[in-house]
Chains A and B, each alone.
Chain A
């Protein structure tokens, strides 16, 4: 799987990306476009910020890019949930 580093992407570009994937942002956090509720990381329950998000394929998994969330995703998708 190829990785695209978003570290240097401006906020507007990240927001464009999110909208293409069916999400949105409030400028700081990722939000659900309909409810405007902040999206939470499924493993740590942290609210996902634009400044440290990870977006993985497989039903568009949006995570905080901390080691626990990334290791959990890889464990589930490489070893089976």
Chain B
């Protein structure tokens, strides 16, 4: 029996005859359910989007280097956040962000957001350019995800370049990361990022700077990469 017919039959008023027909159809569906052939879901749109995201080549590649189930889930949710944003479903997007936070806390939310913004895939691309072995690549990606609060900076419109410069240099001195990532989105944050990065370039000589810009979304990605690991 066709699923639409199954649902349609459920509506044919709950007369005795209709209930009997529905129960008969239901029993057939239950048998198929018990053999793992089907699932019941309120809205099929969400699961279809999630299944499509799981097939992304980017995720398949990331799975080689990221073994944490939670990180992989947070990355997948990031893809979903991106779709909600592109489809202007702001209420659903904010609800999902709240849910991510209540499930996984601030760090989980941060990972979902960097996935949403395409930061992780760009970083992976940079690492792949220069990595000589998979082990060091794996270490670098996981180190970033384990320490996002130390190695990632998100620039907002109200930030001041001088304060950011100080904050960035302090983070680089204190943590000595292999990579620091600075992300900005929108005209003012991008302009602040440009000023800040320009001002620190000559002050942190042990690091190289790689900038990428996405004009469609007006997003700027600054990767501050330690020169030593870069030259492996």
Interface residues of A (CB under 8 A from B): 1-10, 12-13, 16-17, 20-21, 43-44, 51-58, 65-68, 70-72, 74-75, 78
A51-B42 in contact given A4-B6, A16-B22, A16-B23 (Cβ < 8 Å): yes
Once the chains are docked, how many angstroms separate the CA of A52 from the CA of B30? 19
- Chain B residue contacts of A75, Cβ below 8 A: 69, 72-73, 76
Task: Select which of A21, A56, A65 is within 8 A of B42 by beta carbon.
Answer: A65
B137 within 8 A of A: no
Chain B positions within 8 Å of A51 at CB level: 42
- Report yes or no: B80 in contact with A3, Cβ–Cβ below 8 A: no
Residue contact A57 to B38, C-beta cutoff 8 Å:
yes
**A20-B26 contact in complex given A9-B7, A74-B50, C-beta closer than 8 Å:** yes
Q: Is the CB of A5 within 8 A of B26?
A: no
When each residue 34-66 of chain B gets 1 if its CB lies under 8 Å from chain A and 0 otherwise, what string results? Answer: 111111111110111111001000000000000
B40 and A68 form a contact (CB under 8 A): no
Provided the pairs A9-B10, A74-B51 are in contact, do residues A67 and B40 lie with their beta carbons within 8 angstroms? no
Q: Which of B47, B48, B54, B103 contacts A78 (CB 8 A)?
A: B54
Q: Which residues of chain B are within 8 angstroms of A57 by Cβ–Cβ distance?
A: 33-39
| A-binding residues in B (CB < 8 A) | 3, 6-7, 10-11, 14, 22-23, 26-27, 29-30, 32-44, 46-51, 54, 69, 72-73, 76-77, 80, 96, 99-100, 102-103
B39 touches A55 (CB 8 A): yes
Q: Across the interface, do B42 and A5 meet the contact criterion of CB distance under 8 Å?
A: yes
Please state if A66 and B30 are interface contacts (CB–CB under 8 Å): no
On whether A3 and B72 interact (CB within 8 A), knowing A21-B30, A52-B42, A54-B41, the answer reads no
Contacts of A9 in B (CB 8 A): 7, 10
In the complex formed, the residue of B with least CB distance to A54 is: B41
Smallest distance from the beta carbon of A17 to chain B beta carbons, Å? 6
Pair A66/B42 contact, Cβ less than 8 Å: no
Chain A residues closer than 8 Å to B27, beta-carbon distance: 20
Bound-state CA distance A13–B146 (Å) is 46
A54 to chain B, nearest CB (A): 4
Once A20-B30, A21-B30, A57-B36 are accepted as A-B contacts, the answer to whether A6 and B42 lie under 8 Å apart by CB is yes
**A66 adjacent to B96 (CB under 8 Å):** yes
Task: Give Cα distance in the complex from A43 to B103, angstroms.
Answer: 8
- The closest CB in chain A to the CB of B84 belongs to A67
> What 10 pairs between A and B have smallest CB-CB spacing?
A13-B10, A2-B38, A55-B40, A57-B36, A54-B41, A65-B42, A3-B44, A56-B39, A5-B44, A52-B42
Chain B residues positioned under 8 Å from A65 (CB to CB): 41-43, 46-47
Across the interface, which residues of B come within 8 angstroms of A55, CB to CB? 33, 39-41
15 new A-B pairs (CB below 8 Å) besides A16-B23, A75-B69? A1-B36, A2-B32, A2-B38, A3-B48, A5-B41, A6-B7, A9-B10, A13-B22, A17-B30, A43-B103, A44-B103, A52-B43, A54-B47, A68-B99, A71-B73
